[in-house]
Amino acid sequence: MIITKTPLRVSFIGGGSDVPAWYNDNVGRTLTATIGLHVYCAISRHFDESRYRVAYSMTEDVDSLEHMQHDLIRCALRRCGFVDGGIEIHTIADVSGQGTGLGSSAAVTVGTLNGLYRMMGREATFADVGKEAAAIEMIDLKGAGGKQDQYAVAKGGVTSWAFQSRDPVVSWVDHKVSPLVLAQWQATLVLYPTRMARDSRKMLARQRDGLLGQYGSLYMHNLLQWFDEAEQTLLAGRMIDFGRILATTWLLKKRINPEASSPALDALYERALHAGAIGGKICGAGGGGYMLLVVPPEKKRLVDEAIGTKGRLVDWGVPGSQVVYDDEGHHE
């Protein structure tokens, strides 16, 4: 058996600029950090060499890839050449796998690929895995999302990314964040479940369509003008300033795609601000999932009460996807 451990991620700024609708004509930029919440994939040989068994929120036991409903795992198996059966894959996550906005789909794809690569004895860099995982979601499944999630969870850490069509190789800057600043992040960056579900594929499609419009493009240009300042304030641990930038860029994100929020989400966000949060955003494409807020530690209890749930404090900049167990000694 092989077990992989892949982190989830938070995208602080620039989400949406990592899609072809934007970077075919512009430079996309995002700033991401992996967090101490994970997806685990356990991969082993199926006792029946002609079948596949996949267990997640449901269990499938099928005799061909064509009958497998889990799109991401099906495509990963096909791309790795496991087309005759004999494979069993179980996934376990620290959060719900549906519409979190924390990159859980990318974590499943990357974790599955890493495990299959180990089984094959194939060596691959995080960039190789990120590229393959992004191709599964963007090409094989014709999704409307971008590339940042797959690269971010494969690499780990705190990273600034750049995307542009004239250079198909994604470029990045790895940020070495001091323990003192990471401690400030852990004390003030709080994740709250909104308990509002959304279809991430539909939200991503609406975000893409918004970028193609005249005003959507203008708002994205305005949003990216904040990138350098957001990066500098976050890496310096100036959390109050960073919270205010998040509040500004969240308003711009809603103008690109008005469905990124809703009256209920807006009301939840306003209650949090009234209780003492400095600013924040809905993670991912929006519409539901998790809300990231910058909350001074002395205000957290009040914000928890305003939202109606205890906010989650997590570790930041954790390692990327890795094989944590291999009882067959496969070649690394």
Decide if 242 is inside a domain.
yes
Beta bridge partners of 191: 292, 312
The residue range of the domain holding 50 is: 2-177+318-326
As a whole number of angstroms, the distance between CA 246 and CA 252 comes to 10
Q: Is residue 2 within a helix (H) or strand (E), and if so which, with residue range?
A: strand 2-13
Q: Does one domain contain both 117 and 165?
A: yes
Tell me what pLDDT residue 328 has. Answer: 75
pLDDT surpasses 90 at 261 = no
- Are residues 150 and 188 located together in one domain of the fold? no
Pair 15, 162 in one domain: yes
Structure tokens at 56: 């997640």
Model pLDDT for residues 99-118, shown as the tens digit of each residue: 789 999 999 999 999 999 99
Can you give the pLDDT at residue 200? 63
Instruction: Give tens-digit pLDDT for 120-134.
Output: 999 999 999 999 999
Residue 141 has pLDDT above 50, yes or no: yes
CATH at 289: 3.30.70.890
Region label for 88, one of left (φ > 0), alpha (ψ between -120 and 50) or beta (otherwise):
beta
| Residue 134, domain CATH | 3.30.230.10
Q: For the chain, what is the domain count? A: 2
Position 332 confidence tier, pLDDT thresholds 50, 70, 90: very low
Same domain membership, residue 188 and residue 170: no
Coil, strand, or helix at residue 13? strand
54 and 108 co-located in one domain:
yes
Residue 40 lies in a domain: yes
219 within a domain of the structure (yes/no): yes
Residue 331 belongs to some domain of the structure: no
Q: Do 306 and 272 meet the contact criterion of CB atoms below 8 Å apart?
A: yes
249 has a pLDDT exceeding 90: yes
User: What digits encode the pLDDT tens for the residues 23-43?
Assistant: 998 999 999 999 999 999 999
